[in-house]
Structures are given as structure tokens and as C-alpha cells.
Amino acid sequence: MSSLKGKLLLNEPMARYTSWRVGGAADQCYTPSDLEDLQQFLQGLDATTPVYFVGLGSNLLVRDGGIRGAVVMMHNVLTELRMEGDLVYAEAGVTCAKLAKFCAKEAKQGAEFFAGIPGTVGGALAMNAGCYGSETWNVVKRVSMINKLGEVTIRDATEFIASYRHIEKPVTDEWFVAVWLALADGDAHDSTLRIKELLAKRLASQPLNLPSAGSTFRNPQGDFAARLIEASGLKGFVIGGAQVSEKHANFIVNIGGATALDIELLIRHMQDTVLEKQGVSLHQEVKVLGER
């Protein structure tokens, strides 16, 4: 792998790359310089090495035992963003906030909600991220994928099964490298105002001053996870350095020195309590990687 142009770090603490600021070390942590470099890195890996792609780490809990395998860091990598005919082309490393602003500037309507997603395009595609009534896959036309052999394939949106905060891929070991979005024509000024409204709403309702990973649980059909958690008397509940946010009950915040285990135990406690008191099973939105 001597000809690689990216940055390879061994036994790299993942706490540096997750928004909760927790997580053990990854065996390999690679930041590619471009798509060709990413292809070369994947081709050089042993076929048995597990591979994980990470964007801003904003919907991710890495356990304290770290990750066996290779983590590909996509933030600030593959950041091309342009109009391609009538479609918006965005690579996986573009932040959702930047995508929202670009679409507004181009007078393309329907991407404003991306401003409220604290992650990258790749992450939004992988979990069908959404907020304020909109979801990523509602506007996807087609995507570019890469597999463990470094082969790139263009796939139509119809090849995927999208559901609430979940996407079923036709091939498991493929990762998103780019997307083409089909958006309606709109008004740049109106879209910019909508983005400002959404950001103000987010600032008013979410604990953005402390490390968190956004919504911990999916909203159950016809209800809100935050309401159920609050009704169960869990606001402010603490395990170690992890706390159920007093500002938004569906957020777990790191109030200082939290471990991944603290957070995982708090998640379980919240699920058990809500099931016992409200009769509802909460399903995790946060992805968990690594070993205890």
C-alpha cells in the first residue's frame, strides 16, 4: 500500500471522530485523498478485513473496545457538489448543511431539511436521514456505490428499499460515494428563509452545546420518542458521564468523561423504562460499532 496518497493511522482512537466524543481505537483508520485512492486502499485490504465508512460520526456510538478492521473516514473527502443537467450531484463527503445551501442557491426546492441534519451526504443516504417531515430518499434519483474490490457501480433509486431511518441495499458490502438528487424548481430566497427557520427551530429545541449524537431513538408510529421518554420521568437521568438531555429527552449528552458503555447502558435503561411505563418499545436510531 506504499503508493497510497491518503492518511493511514493505526490504533487510532475513534473518540476523535464521533460527535459523542467516545469510542476505542480502530485497527486502521484511513482518510483517502480521492476516489481513485479509496479504490486502491480497498483493493489492498485482506478480503477478510471488515470495512466501515464514517462521515461526521454524528449518528454513531463506537464501543470502548474499539473497531477490529478498517475505518474509512469520508469527512472532507469526496466533496464535489455541482449541477448536472437538472439534477444536483453531491459526493458522499459533502456535509448536509452545505448541500442544503447549495440547492437553495441553485433555486432547487425540497432539500432545505438537510440543513437540520448534522452529518454528511453518505451518512444521510446510509440511514435515510430526515427531519421536519422530509427524508433523504424522497429526493434520490440514483447513487454511485463502491464495493470491497474498489469497483464503482451506478445504481438507480428503485434498486433500494427505503423505510423510516433505514435503507435496504441490493448488495450489502457496498458504500455510497455520490448521489444525484431530483428536486423541483423553486425560489432561492424562499428556500434560504426556510433553512433559517429550520436552523432556528433546531437551536431552540436541541442541546447543541454538549456532545450528542442527535436523536437516540426513532419516533414510534403516531408518537414522539421524546414525549414517551419525558412522560417516563427520565429527563436529566444520569449514568456515569451520560445524561438524558434536560432540553430534549430523545438526546443523550456527554456531560463530561462519559464512556461508550455509560451511553449504551443509558440507552438500555431508557428502553426498559419506556416499555414498562408506556408499553412502547423504542428502536435505536443510533448505529453501534465495535467491541465492548
- In DSSP notation, 162-204 reads EETTEEE-SSTTEEEEEEEE--EE--HHHHHHHHHHHHHHHHH
Helical (H) or strand (E) element with 9: strand 7-13
- The CATH fold assigned to 225-289 is 3.90.78
* Count of all residues that appear for the chain in the document: 292
Quick one: pLDDT at residue 278? 97
What CA–CA distance (Å, rounded) separates 188 from 103? Answer: 8
Q: Angle 188-205/96-105 helices, nearest 10 degrees?
A: 150
> Residue ranges of the domains in the chain?
7-73, 81-205, 225-289
Active-site annotation, residues: 165, 215, 285
Local structure of residue 237 (DSSP, 8 states): -
Question: How much is the CA Rg of the chain, to the nearest whole Å?
Answer: 19
pLDDT tens digits, one per residue of 182-209: 999 999 999 999 999 999 999 898 998 9
pLDDT tens digits, one per residue of 219-263: 999 999 999 999 999 999 999 999 999 999 999 999 999 999 999
pLDDT tens digits, one per residue of 19-62: 999 999 999 999 999 999 999 999 999 999 999 999 999 999 99
What CA–CA distance (Å, rounded) separates 177 from 153? Answer: 10
178 neighbors 89 (Cβ within 8 angstroms) = yes
pLDDT tens digits, one per residue of 111-159: 999 999 999 999 999 999 988 889 999 999 999 999 999 999 999 999 9
Q: Into which CATH architecture does domain 7-73 fall?
A: 2-Layer Sandwich (3.30)
What CA–CA distance (Å, rounded) separates 236 from 91? Answer: 38
C-alpha dist (Å) from residue 235 to 139, 158, 247? 35, 41, 8
Q: Say yes or no to pLDDT of 1 above 80.
A: no
Q: Into which CATH architecture does domain 81-205 fall?
A: 2-Layer Sandwich (3.30)
C-alpha dist (Å) from residue 154 to 54, 85, 86, 121, 240? 21, 17, 18, 16, 45
pTM to 2 decimals? 0.92
What CA–CA distance (Å, rounded) separates 273 from 18? Answer: 27
